[in-house]
Chain A
């Protein structure tokens, strides 16, 4: 059983929700990332989504886009992100790590080389924002050969028919985008999310995680009531920006505390 499947099964057995923090690798500097990943796990994170910095992060709102820019000031690229995960794995062999990013850095490295290096580094899943199912076949195949999950997005604009097709091709978990907009937007409608999650539930047995627009313990709890987990990004990346010049230990403890609060609320 994959690390993602194991964690989700364990959570389900104890009737708990997955808490999935998203941070940008290399934000605010490369020396923060591994320490922050461990801090998030200690605070109660179940899976870590690690953003791969890209020059043109089209789906991100201003908070996360600035996180990408901060990391790019240190020229953090996909190969460095893989090294960070390798380092993380020396002290944590259990927590799943999912890379979230854009197609071009993977295209540049090559699908095969990337999949092999991701496997060696201990990556569990890959979510490529601009590779919808139509364009992701070749990469999904090379990832699957190494037992790495391809995570797909389903959005409020995805038709029911299309959602059925997407969940068929997906593995790991489904990432439900809670709103029409970029990451960190403010127009979250919890009832609508619940309704859609219940519909998706009738199409698939895969775990359903909800992200975009979750700002605090309260909204995390609300959106995950129907779902299996909540993805939290902008609020953490914002904090990384605000604490960029603080000592590393202080940034780690303060950002992790946000996740700690959500963990308490989610149970």
Chain B
């Protein structure tokens, strides 16, 4: 049910000048960072009105990332499901293997224009860390990636990949030693080295202007998908499905469709062991609004307002907050948010691998699993676009371990 007081146009035009999406977003940071955020906001405002900046961005996406990514009709899977036709937006085919690179290309251009020689990034699964290390290597920038000690253990392959690319991977030992703590540590570094450092936030969250600029860079996904739908299907899809951790791949797909009233949007959170167990990473499904990492948004927290540990088979969704625009889209009813638990996601991973020969990232497997549920409730003349946000190569060791198989030492 859409909030009737708000036009779709008004929803799509958020955030306001203070970075607010309705009551969400904003700039909840220590005073020392305000000047850096002002500088970033002003730079982005200027460059985003400059056609040459977007031409440079598009050029990089075309020749370095390999865009546009295909919109693939998963016909065999669709036929087996027996409901709607399912199309996959193939972000897994991007250079570095996920949608994350769209954003790091854009922010690296900002860093270059701002003359910052040093970049820092936080990472959970390591995909954003790899994408940051990649653009840093390409531009000859010094790169430090903050990663929770727990995640470093879980994602050894990506850690090595970042090191090969020349990045310094900093192991974060504080708090729960996962993504949220890596983000705290990156903020601490930024506040200390604010003069020469650009902080590439990996998702559409954090203090203004990050949620806006990350969304703008990722919106290439939705713009392409919209055009490709018109070309290949002859009309817009009936529904969009994307996984939501911080929510950058989802907002990138959703945003260009916000004003298309007939297109339903489903964000899929990590249900972990199941929402009823409390062991999950689904703040929109089972959290409340609060303030963390520079923005007001839905969070997972306890009765004292302490942020609680999250649980998901997928390190990339294992985050207790979510981008503020998703909180807003939920409240106004423009998008719906659902949860898929670990077991369902694993089944989705195996299904897509066997039936289409495409191995999705465990994050994207949440979207796959929900798309199958949704497709069954629809008819064969209807269409769903699923954001296949990343490829599953990085997760093979995790899946093998769940199967009780050791693949170490094999190639």
Q: Does A131 contact B (CB under 8 A)?
A: yes
Chain A residues within 8 Å of B307, by CB: 55-56, 104
**A55-B175, A69-B174 known; A132+B31 contact, CB < 8 A:** yes
Can you spell out 11 A-B residue pairs with CB atoms less than 8 angstroms apart? A55-B175, A55-B308, A58-B30, A59-B188, A104-B306, A108-B305, A132-B31, A152-B31, A157-B34, A158-B35, A181-B191
Does A157 contact B291, Cβ atoms closer than 8 Å?
no
Q: Which of A59, A105, A135, A159 contacts B305 (CB 8 A)?
A: A105
Does A180 contact B32, Cβ atoms closer than 8 Å?
yes
Interface size on A, residues (CB 8 A): 47
Q: Does B165 contact A (CB under 8 A)?
A: no
Closest to B208 in A: A134
Does A69 contact B175, Cβ atoms closer than 8 Å?
yes
* Interface 0/1 of A48-76, CB less than 8 Å to B: 00000111111111100110010010010
Distance in angstroms from A134 CB to nearest chain B CB is 6
Does B191 contact A182, Cβ atoms closer than 8 Å?
yes
Known pairs A54-B306, A104-B301. 18 more at Cβ < 8 A? A55-B175, A55-B307, A58-B293, A59-B187, A62-B174, A69-B174, A104-B291, A107-B296, A108-B290, A108-B303, A108-B304, A132-B34, A135-B26, A135-B28, A158-B35, A177-B32, A180-B32, A185-B192
Instruction: Please provide the chain A residues from 112 to 164 with a CB less than 8 Å away from any CB of chain B in the complex.
Output: 129-132, 134-135, 152-159, 162
Cα A180 to Cα B32 with chains together (Å):
7
Does B195 contact A130, Cβ atoms closer than 8 Å?
no
Distance in angstroms from A9 CB to nearest chain B CB is 26
Chain B residues within 8 Å of A166, by CB: 31
Q: Does A7 contact B (CB under 8 A)?
A: no
Does B299 contact A104, Cβ atoms closer than 8 Å?
yes
**A134-B27, A182-B188 known; A78+B32 contact, CB < 8 A:** no
Q: Does B29 contact A (CB under 8 A)?
A: yes
Chain A residues within 8 Å of B305, by CB: 54, 77-78, 104-109
* Interface 0/1 of B7-50, CB less than 8 Å to A: 00000000000100000001111111111100000000000000
Cα A159 to Cα B243 with chains together (Å):
41
Closest to B307 in A: A55
**A58-B187, A103-B28 known; A130+B294 contact, CB < 8 A:** yes
Cα A131 to Cα B291 with chains together (Å):
10
Chain A residues within 8 Å of B29, by CB: 58, 130, 132
Q: Does A79 contact B (CB under 8 A)?
A: yes
Distance in angstroms from B343 CB to nearest chain A CB is 29
Closest to B26 in A: A135
Chain B residues within 8 Å of A72, by CB: 306
Chain B residues within 8 Å of A69, by CB: 174-175
Instruction: Please provide the chain B residues from 211 to 255 with a CB less than 8 Å away from any CB of chain A in the complex.
Output: none
Chain A residues within 8 Å of B32, by CB: 59, 153, 155-158, 177, 180-181
Cα A125 to Cα B304 with chains together (Å):
20
CB-CB nearest 10 A-B residue pairs: A77-B304, A108-B305, A105-B305, A157-B35, A155-B32, A181-B192, A153-B31, A103-B291, A55-B306, A59-B30
Does B174 contact A131, Cβ atoms closer than 8 Å?
no
Distance in angstroms from B196 CB to nearest chain A CB is 11
Distance in angstroms from B58 CB to nearest chain A CB is 34
Does A58 contact B188, Cβ atoms closer than 8 Å?
yes
Closest to A66 in B: B174
Chain B residues within 8 Å of A105, by CB: 304-306
* Interface 0/1 of B291-315, CB less than 8 Å to A: 1111010010101111110000000
Q: Does B194 contact A (CB under 8 A)?
A: yes
Does A104 contact B31, Cβ atoms closer than 8 Å?
no
Does B28 contact A130, Cβ atoms closer than 8 Å?
yes
Chain A residues within 8 Å of B34, by CB: 132, 157-158, 162
Q: Does B180 contact A (CB under 8 A)?
A: yes
**A55-B306, A130-B28 known; A107+B35 contact, CB < 8 A:** no
Q: Which of B175, B193, B305 has the most CB of A within 10 A?
A: B305
**A156-B32, A157-B36, A162-B34 known; A107+B291 contact, CB < 8 A:** yes
**A55-B175, A107-B305 known; A135+B192 contact, CB < 8 A:** no
Cα A100 to Cα B221 with chains together (Å):
43
Q: Which of A131, A134, A159, A182 contacts B192 (CB 8 A)?
A: A182
Q: Which of A54, A56, A103, A135 has the most CB of B within 10 A?
A: A56
Cα A136 to Cα B73 with chains together (Å):
50
Closest to A76 in B: B304
Closest to A101 in B: B305
Q: Does B158 contact A (CB under 8 A)?
A: no
Chain B residues within 8 Å of A62, by CB: 174
Chain A residues within 8 Å of B188, by CB: 58-61, 182
Does B194 contact A180, Cβ atoms closer than 8 Å?
yes
